[in-house]
């Protein structure tokens, strides 16, 4: 018995039995704690318990207990399996510690998947070299020399492709843009729709597909309009006459911007007078666009609305000095009054007024233009005038809090709106929005009230109109309740 206790195979056997059981228990406890804490280290402990440890124990058993030679095919096969399990555990270890637990904003969190795959391949190649050299006693000098020469030849043959690949890896590490971002590269602008290891695909503003190699991107300056936020600054220049007060012009540019779709309210639009010229002052409006895709549409919409707003405000956009225009002066009555009288005579609520009274209203009225989509009257706004549509169409919209706007009725040529101005202190119950380009006659409230005092029939018709539209609005409100 004493001799048995001192034999090598008995000592190794007892050590393997006890050591294996202890290591299995320790690793099992580590896996349990890692799983409860939600840590990815559990996968590493499982790989060690289920792969590395059994092959190691089996190798020691064959070597120390059974007594097989290290150069035998069986021992080399077991050693190969052991190294494969070690390589697998190392791959898990590198993936968990370097990438899965990487802090946000670090280079490890931005590492592209291709880089991770290349690192894994490199570790596998190193492990395979260790197995071939240590376990199977192979001379790797010739293989390394052949791979070196082959790499040089392959690199020269695929120089452009490899350049795009390396540029793609560097670009994805830096992450200057992502899919869906709106970028400008050189003279090209578009939305990023695909990123791969060779090229980046852009959908241009003309809806064309532009494929740019990564090597070309690496040589160009990239402007990302979607980062750090999707807000993009847009500058639009205008010129107005020298005798137009600059503060009025700047107020008009700012107010028009605030009513233009997709213009951000924060930061608020700004307008500056930037230059005096011979016959005009040049202004610049600075807006923030909330969607870079709509850059051209915003320029078109805003410029169009500035023209209408300038007409309504009596601000003159100057003509080029190289052109001369001769405008034939016409008497006020024939140029504008007579068409206005004709239009007023066709309004049902004003049908009982005499011709002289209609002419008086036409002389007091002014003509305004609104572009399609512009709001003529805002819900809740106090109006000091009544409007008659001379050309175009408009829609009456009511919007409850946190709800979509509901259409109450459509208005066409010869119809009247803004009648709530006749009820003192009452704001507009709904908004009036131009469906098409709209031309209206704006009659001041004071002019209309003086006629209603001496013409009760017209006052009665206007009161009926207010009641009808109020009932229509109440039905909409009741349907939403």
3-state secondary structure 78-89: HHHHHHHHHHHH
In this prediction, residue 142 has a pLDDT band, given cuts at 50, 70 and 90, of low
**Percentage above 90 pLDDT, the chain:** 16
What strands lie across the sheet with 199-204, from one edge to the other? 209-213, 199-204, 188-195, 182-185, 222-224
Q: Is 112 exposed, middle or buried (0-12, 13-18, 19+ CB in 10 A)?
A: middle
Q: Flag the least confident range among 97-106, 129-138, 246-255.
A: 97-106
In this prediction, residue 1 has a pLDDT band, given cuts at 50, 70 and 90, of very low
- pLDDT digit string (tens) for 167-183? 666 666 667 778 888 88
User: CA 52, CA 91: separation in Å to the nearest integer?
Assistant: 13
In this prediction, residue 265 has a pLDDT band, given cuts at 50, 70 and 90, of confident
User: CA 416, CA 400: separation in Å to the nearest integer?
Assistant: 24
**Has residue 100 got a pLDDT over 80?**
no
Asked whether 259 and 375 are in contact (CB, 8 A), the reply is yes
**Confidence at residue 60, expressed as pLDDT on a 0 to 100 scale:** 85
Identify which has the larger pLDDT, 113 or 204: 204
CA distances from 439 to 302, 359, 367, 442 (A): 19, 19, 7, 10
Collect all residues with Cβ–Cβ distance below 8 Å to 254 and sequence separation of at least 6. Answer: 268, 269, 270, 271, 285
- pLDDT digit string (tens) for 17-76? 788 888 888 888 888 888 888 887 888 888 888 888 888 888 888 888 887 887 888 888
**Per the structure block, which two tokens stand in for 364?**
């007091």
**Confidence at residue 171, expressed as pLDDT on a 0 to 100 scale:** 66
Rg (the chain; Cα; Å): 41
Interval 106-135 mean pLDDT: 71
**Has residue 384 got a pLDDT over 50?**
yes
* Domains of the chain with bracketed CATH: 2-138 (no CATH), 174-224 (2.30.30.60), 232-313 (3.30.70.100), 332-480 (2.60.120.10)
CA distances from 410 to 126, 316, 427 (A): 77, 32, 20
- Which residue blocks in 65-213 are alpha helix, DSSP H? 73-94, 107-110, 113-130, 141-157, 159-174
Residue from 310, 301, 299, 297 nearest 251 by CA? 310
Q: What average pLDDT is seen over the chain? A: 80
- pLDDT digit string (tens) for 302-337? 999 999 999 888 898 876 544 444 444 444 444 568
- pLDDT digit string (tens) for 445-479? 888 888 888 888 888 888 888 888 888 888 877 77
Distance from CA of residue 264 to its chain's centroid?
13
């Amino acid at each position: 018995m004493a001799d048995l206790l001192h034999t090598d195979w008995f000592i190794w056997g007892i050590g393997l039995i006890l050591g294996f059981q202890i290591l299995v228990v320790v690793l099992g406890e580590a896996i349990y704690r890692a799983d409860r804490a939600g840590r990815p280290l559990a996968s590493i402990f499982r790989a060690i318990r289920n792969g590395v440890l059994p092959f190691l124990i089996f190798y020691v058993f064959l070597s120390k207990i059974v007594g097989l030679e290290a150069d035998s095919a069986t021992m080399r096969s077991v050693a190969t399996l052991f190294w494969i399990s070690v390589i697998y555990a190392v791959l898990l270890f590198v993936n968990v510690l370097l990438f899965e637990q990487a802090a946000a904003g670090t280079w490890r969190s931005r590492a592209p998947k291709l880089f991770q795959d290349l690192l894994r391949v490199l570790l596998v190649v190193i492990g395979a070299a260790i197995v071939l050299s240590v376990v199977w006693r192979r001379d790797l000098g010739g293989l390394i020399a052949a791979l070196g020469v082959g790499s040089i030849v392959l690199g020269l043959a695929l120089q452009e492709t490899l350049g795009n690949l390396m540029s793609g890896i560097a670009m994805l590490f830096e992450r200057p843009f992502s899919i869906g971002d709106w970028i400008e590269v050189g003279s090209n602008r578009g939305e990023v729709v695909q990123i791969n290891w060779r090229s980046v695909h852009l959908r241009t503003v003309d809806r064309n597909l532009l494929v740019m190699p990564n090597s070309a991107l690496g040589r160009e300056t990239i402007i990302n309009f979607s980062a750090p936020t999707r807000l993009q600054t847009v500058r639009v220049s205008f010129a107005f006459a020298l005798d137009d007060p600059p503060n009025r012009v700047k107020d008009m540019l700012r107010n028009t911007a605030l009513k233009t779709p997709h213009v951000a309210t924060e930061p608020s639009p700004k307008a500056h007078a930037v230059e005096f010229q011979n016959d005009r002052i040049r202004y610049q409006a600075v807006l923030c666009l909330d969607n870079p895709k709509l850059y051209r549409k915003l320029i078109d919409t805003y410029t169009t609305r500035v023209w209408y707003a300038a007409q309504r405000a009596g601000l003159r956009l100057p003509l080029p000095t190289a052109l001369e225009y001769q405008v034939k002066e016409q008497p006020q009555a024939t140029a504008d009054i007579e068409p206005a009288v004709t239009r007023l005579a066709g309004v049902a609520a004003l049908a009982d007024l005499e011709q002289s009274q209609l002419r008086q209203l036409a002389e007091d009225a002014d003509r305004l233009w609104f572009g399609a989509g512009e709001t003529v009257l805002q819900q809740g706004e106090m109006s000091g005038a009544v409007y008659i549509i001379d050309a175009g169409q408009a829609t009456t919209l009511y919007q409850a809090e946190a709800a979509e706007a509901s259409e109450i009725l459509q208005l066409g040529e010869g119809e009247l709106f803004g009648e709530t101005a006749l009820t003192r202190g009452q704001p507009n119950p709904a908004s009036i929005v131009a469906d098409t380009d709209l031309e209206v006659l704006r009659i001041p409230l004071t002019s209309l009230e003086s006629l209603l005092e001496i013409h009760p029939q017209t006052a009665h018709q206007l009161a009926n109109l207010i009641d009808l539209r109020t009932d229509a609005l109440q039905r909409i409100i009741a349907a939403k309740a």
